[in-house]
Amino acid sequence: MPTTDPLDRLFPDHVATLAATTDQALGAAGFDAVVIGAGFAHYRFLDDSADPFTANPHFKAWAPILNAPGSFIVYVPGRRPTLCFHQPEDYWHKPPASPSGDWLKSFDLKLLRNPAQARAHVPPRAAYLGEPFAGSEDWGFAAVNPPALLSRLHWARGAKSPYELACLRRAARSGARAHRAALTAFRAGASEYEIHLAYLEASGHTEAELPYSNIIALNEGAAILHYTDLGREHPLARRSFLIDAGAQFRGYACDITRTHAAAASPFQDLVASVDALELRLCEMVRPGVAYPEIHFAAHRFVAELLVEHALVTCTADAAVATGLTSVFFPHGVGHLLGLQVHDVGGHQADEAGGSAPPPAGHPYLRLTRRLEPGMVVTIEPGVYFIDLLLDRAKQDGRGQDINWDTVADLAPYGGVRIEDDVVALAEGPENLTRDAFAATAD
């Protein structure tokens, strides 16, 4: 029996918006149609085991199905899109279930037993978007992943439709529930790996279904920005816990980070200060704001925090001017979020493409665009005690303004990062993450 979800009432308008955007992009790029491939399963070198399948985000934008290797969407302006769904005859593996739900009413459905059968549905002068595949050169595509088309679609993907925002809210609630379970496991003395298992159970995800590999770090591990070791041991001293972990709903991701102290301490005070700082930055997520301005504000606020917590001996202005803040806060303040955790188009100059690189001295900022209504971004400031960067500061002279005694006291805790997902709206920011934690408080 077809499944029904109230969210599907928003889906026809989402498809209509997507079609209008695609019509304009096809016209500007000089194509009459588009074929979007979901992608294919890939087997490991000298092995008969496949890596987990990940659907092309362009495919996920049209159809809320994630397990569809060998499937295609065919769209011709003025016509209903066609979903060519690959459902092989197979007794070694379970074939994907036939798609169902009210959302399917927006498509013409063609079931394929072999991906090559989709070739019969390729219209003239069609661009292909997706992973190139063996034999695709004989399908008659006018172009494969043409930059002029991709740039326009990537630019438009920054602003989310009401359907997409609803999906992101669902993902945020799954992530918030799982974060609560992870904190409970930490408080109970679990290892990083055991915390990870608690997170998976509460989120309802397998590891392959996570939007990115969980970062779960105890103590000094929090100083490694992308720490994914998932240690099995139980540390004798439990000082701190940093978790950067997400969830997804219909292919849309949440990206949430929280840091916790094991007990009352100066580190707990630092966590509270970073949390307050992060909320100030979230208030800046409004249409018309150039995202680098939020990043620069983050460095100003971090500088004030470093002075407040006696981590530096200079003024806040001096800490910013000399780049001392980058020793403690070395990454960008956030990025676009949606069908991909680090969503595309963050460095585009305009819809035609071009590059708007990060500002000098801030190479890791992933978003340089001006915010538009409906854009979803992450806000994730941090303060870390990273040996490599602290040693460099000693060598280049900036170390003279660091209070090394305070650093020595806090370094065993690793560091702090707080991250929320926020929508830029005309009436003010919508904090998807804080709302999700409030909705899952019971």
Question: What's the CA gap between 332 and 417, in Å, rounded?
Answer: 12
What is the pTM (predicted TM-score) of this model? Answer: 0.96
Q: Cα angle vertex 247, ends 383, 192, to 5°? A: 55
Residue among 115, 63, 64, 108 nearest 86 (CA): 115
Q: What is the pLDDT of residue 5?
A: 82
**Residue 234: count of CB within 10 angstroms of its CB:** 12
Q: What is the pLDDT of residue 2?
A: 47
Q: What is the pLDDT of residue 3?
A: 54
Per-residue pLDDT of the chain (442 residues; tens, 9 = 90+): 345 688 899 999 999 999 999 999 999 999 999 999 999 999 999 998 999 999 999 999 999 999 999 999 999 999 999 999 999 998 888 888 999 999 999 999 999 999 999 999 999 999 999 999 999 999 999 999 999 999 999 999 999 999 999 999 999 999 999 999 999 999 999 999 999 999 999 999 999 999 999 999 999 999 999 999 999 999 999 999 999 999 999 999 999 999 999 999 999 999 999 999 999 999 999 999 999 999 999 999 999 999 999 999 999 999 999 999 999 999 999 999 999 999 999 999 999 999 999 999 999 999 999 999 999 999 999 999 999 999 999 999 999 999 999 999 999 999 999 999 999 999 999 999 999 999 999 7
For tokens 């020793």, the residue is 327
How many residues are given for the chain?
A: 442
Q: Which domains does the chain have, with CATH numbers?
A: 6-156 (3.40.350.10), 162-439 (3.90.230.10)
Q: What is the pLDDT of residue 296?
A: 98
Whole-angstrom Cα Rg for the chain: 24
Strands 248-249 and 382-384: unpaired
* Strand stretches in 167-293, DSSP E: 215-218, 240-245, 248-249, 252-253, 256-261
Specify which residues 257 forms β-bridges with.
Answer: 244, 419
Question: What's the CA gap between 152 and 172, in Å, rounded?
Answer: 28
- Is residue 326 a contact partner of residue 379, using CB atoms and an 8 Å limit? no
* Strand stretches in 227-372, DSSP E: 240-245, 248-249, 252-253, 256-261, 348-350, 353-355
Question: What's the CA gap between 171 and 248, in Å, rounded?
Answer: 5
> Which 3 state secondary structure label does DSSP give 418?
coil
